[in-house]
A = this chain, B = another copy of it.
Amino acid sequence: MSDTWLPSLKTDTPQAGFELAVKLSRVGVKYTQPSDEVRSSLRSDYDHDTTQLIASSHVIAVHFQTVAAANNWWR
């Protein structure tokens, strides 16, 4: 992935920060499984599996901690 996909952790709003956390959690998967085709084919393996949906939400939560700290919690 040679493109710039993460120029900054700063966001204008908490909600944009949450969306950045979602993006970071997905990019984490992409670094491990780079093929767009494979990832798409696997989508049905987790999007109806509540254990994996909760696990995905967990990863987002960890990244949201980082993004929130980077933005001084948008105080």
Contact = CB atoms under 8 A, between A and B. Distances in A.
B42 A46 contact: no
Interface in A19-56: 19, 22, 24-29, 31-33, 38, 42, 45-56
Interface in A55-72: 55-66, 68-70
B52 A54 contact: yes
Contacts of A38: 47-48
A68 B9 contact: yes
A10 B10 CA distance: 18
Contacts of A9: 14, 68, 73-74
Contacts of A49: 50
